[in-house]
Amino acid sequence: MEPNLLRSPKGRNRMTSMPDKPDTWLLVFAWLGQHAPTIYAGALSFVVGALRIIYGGGTRRQALLEASLCTLITIGLIPLLEYFGLPQNFATAAGVFIGFLGVKKIADLADRFADFKFPKSDSAP
């Protein structure tokens, strides 16, 4: 007999319920409280990115992909905010901004920054 199944009086297997452990819920809520700005920023970035694509006439697939990429960019931006000493609540504004601009515009800005910092040399060896 499997460990999490019990026999009922009628001979049927029934699943045992997870015992209520207050410490587990306390840890879950503490983790959510600590990471709420990051979760909120990612969720807002996802929603704004998806709505921008849908408003522009894109398909659901395009909206899902764009919103997912915007969320990943936003979550990747959080350590940079901490590095520059900005408050973690600033992540919400950054998430909305990234969702509004979109992945293509962010990539164009990153390419321009890279070209400025690392100019291409005309002389090839």
Q: pLDDT per residue over 13-25, tens digit each?
A: 566 666 667 788 8
The pLDDT score that the predictor gives to residue 74 is 93
Dist. CA 93–CA 99, nearest whole Å = 10
Dist. CA 87–CA 90, nearest whole Å = 6
Residue 13 located in a structural domain = no
CB 78 within 8 A of CB 38: yes
Residue 10 located in a structural domain = no
Mean pLDDT of 105-109: 92
In single-letter form, the type of residue at position 26 comes to L
Residue 42 located in a structural domain = yes
CB 75 within 8 A of CB 38: yes
The pLDDT score that the predictor gives to residue 123 is 54
The pLDDT score that the predictor gives to residue 28 is 87
Dist. CA 44–CA 50, nearest whole Å = 10
Residue 8 located in a structural domain = no
Residue 4 located in a structural domain = no
* Full domain range(s) for residue 88: 38-113
Structural domains of the chain, count: 1
Residue 7 located in a structural domain = no
Mean pLDDT of 45-58: 94
The pLDDT score that the predictor gives to residue 11 is 57
Residue 49 located in a structural domain = yes
